[in-house]
Structure 1
Amino acid sequence: MTPVARVRVWDAWVRLTHWAVAGIVVWNLFGPTDSTHRLLGYIAAGLVVARVLWGFVGSRHARFSAWWPTRLHLIEYLRSLASGKPMHHVSHNPLGGLMALFLWFLILALAMSGWIMRLDAFWGEDWPQEIHAWLSVAVEVCVCVHVAAAVLMSVWTRENLVGAMVTGNKRDTTNKKAS
């Protein structure tokens, strides 16, 4: 049996930002809403901004050009799922890329709504807190979908996606789609 070739996909910065933001999100969803909550929320937003910048200048597979979820890529990938033969992507698959973008948007929106809640101009207003609460529920739902999809696709494709985000390495196939 020939060993499966591995390729470095996720560099240290991608993995660090992923797990740091994941930890902060879990802490802030279930921990107290105090000054630590606010500080960690701003740190998470800063890490997301740094990761977005890394999407333009970072390593090959971290760049948006490697995994941007275009309409065509999404349709093609959904068809491969429907056929029971999901396409292999070295970087994010189109649905994973779409989820990453959506989670980043939600985290930035949470930080913004949290900041707005603290402004004197909105003192006594309920809507900033209501928006913040709705955004936090949206993050909870998306995180659950993200984790479930990573586990499901790991089993279905026999590609340990969670492990890849720990080690940075994924299976390298000759029939790969690098999008």
Structure 2
Amino acid sequence: MPIIKKSVRVWDPLVRVFHWTLVLSFAVAWVSADEFDTLHFWAGYTIAALVAFRVVWGIIGTRHARFTDFIYRFRTIKSYLIDLAALRPKHYVGHNPAGGLMVVILLLSLALLTFTGMASVAIDGIGPLAGTWVESISGHWMEDIHEAVANLVLAFVLFHIAGVLVSSLVHGENLVRAMINGKKEIEEKSDEN
């Protein structure tokens, strides 16, 4: 049976807008750190809102946006990574097991990043956590934690980009384009002889 390529919609518009707005917001927050506080704060608030949205969309969103579509057991992730290292991983229409794990890692680390950012200024009476219990436990040391988490998130982002490039090469697909237009090419066996 001949194999044909078929274009399928995978990423809905909300996932794509979320993704690229998050990319822009993180870049703005990174560049504006220590220089432009107001811009940095608003980029951080945007990231926090995006993470909250993504958690909700991960529960009620479209098929490939839902966590149930891309959160895998550890043994499945391990098996996928072993197969990837051997350049023979199974192809997934949505997130592969490694990509799904990276989504979860990024969402959790971004949530921690925005929390530590808001907590680090709460002591000065600034932001939504000012005047709350967080202000009483925050000190200027929280800023050091925020900076360390920001560096960790940047490392995760770079690892994510590397994973996208490797997966694109191994599977012969353009994942960046898919995150722009929402479509992926999948192979199907044709009934024609």
What is the identity, as a one-letter code, of the residue corresponding to 1:8? R
Moved more, 122-131 or 55-64: 122-131
Identity of aligned residues (%): 34
What is the identity, as a one-letter code, of the residue corresponding to 1:48? V
5 Å-filtered alignment, 1:114-129, equals 114-120=117-123, 121=135, 125-129=139-143
Give SS of 1:170's match.
strand
CA contact (8 A) 1:117 1:123 kept: no
Larger Rg: 2
Q: What is the distance in 2 between the residues matched to 1:139 and 1:79? A: 25
5 Å-filtered alignment, 1:29-178, equals 29-31=30-32, 32-120=35-123, 121=135, 125-174=139-188
Name stretches of at least 5 consecutive residues in structure 2 with no aligned partner: 124-134
> Against the structure 1 CA distance between its residues 124 and 58, is the aligned structure 2 distance closer, same or farther, given a 3 Å change threshold?
closer
Shift, 1:40, TM fit: 1.4
Shift, 1:170, TM fit: 0.9
> Against the structure 1 CA distance between its residues 173 and 76, is the aligned structure 2 distance closer, same or farther, given a 3 Å change threshold?
farther
Shift, 1:67, TM fit: 0.8
Q: What is the distance in 1 between the residues matched to 2:139 and 2:54? A: 33
Name stretches of at least 5 consecutive residues in structure 1 with no aligned partner: none
CA contact (8 A) 2:4 2:188 kept: no
- Which stretches of structure 1, 4 residues or more, deviate above 6 A after TM superposition? none
Q: What is the distance in 1 between the residues matched to 2:148 and 2:37? A: 18
Q: What is the distance in 1 between the residues matched to 2:15 and 2:105? A: 17
RMSD: 2.1
Q: Structure 1 length normalisation: TM-score?
A: 0.89
Q: How many residues align?
A: 175
Q: What is the distance in 2 between the residues matched to 1:60 and 1:111? A: 28
CA contact (8 A) 2:5 2:188 kept: no
